[in-house]
Amino acid sequence: MPSAEVALQDLLLTLSYGIKYRKNGFLSSTIMHRPRPLPPAAIPDRYAQRFQALKRDFLELDYFCKGTLLKRMMKCGKAQCACRQDPAKRHGPYFEWTYKAKGKTVNVKLTRDVMPMFRAASHQYRKLRSLLTRLETLSQTVLRYQAKLAQHADRD
């Protein structure tokens, strides 16, 4: 009857966290973690739908630009001007768009009229970066999921 006990013990070992086994005639135990259950089959469809929705958001993007928009109040070079002593009396505002190109900082002077256009383009750039990050995260999740499915298929 020891073989029936061994079979029952093996069955119990596979269903529990702690595995007990005999080593050199002594009863030993080890703690193992159960593998995480795979998500339901509907998850790949949900990933695909989310990926398609993010791609549609890309199509809705307008012109965009990277960089910083500044509103500056400047001091002039005249020694007797009030802008030297009182920051509230500085000249301006002057608007600038600053960005990097080939490792160099580029400053572009803007008029008050075009500033809203560049502000909207800057907002579109932030939206673009956010969409890219979300797409990358979703892609990594799907790839990890597909890799797990492939590993489980190889085992079977």
Question: Partners of 101 in the beta sheet?
Answer: 104
Give the integer Cα–Cα distance in Å for 148 and 155: 11
User: Of 40-54, 82-96, 97-111, 122-136, which gets the smallest average pLDDT?
Assistant: 40-54
Give the integer Cα–Cα distance in Å for 64 and 127: 9
pLDDT score for 153: 73
Indicate the pLDDT class of residue 142, thresholds 50, 70 and 90.
confident
Mean pLDDT of 3-31: 51
Give the integer Cα–Cα distance in Å for 64 and 44: 32
Mean pLDDT of 18-27: 56
Give the H or E element holding residue 60: none
What pLDDT digit, counting tens, does each position of 5-15 carry?
554 444 444 44
pLDDT score for 154: 73
Using the Cα atoms of residue 138, residue 140, residue 48 and residue 154 in order, give the sign of their dihedral: negative
Give the H or E element holding residue 111: none
Mean pLDDT of the chain: 80
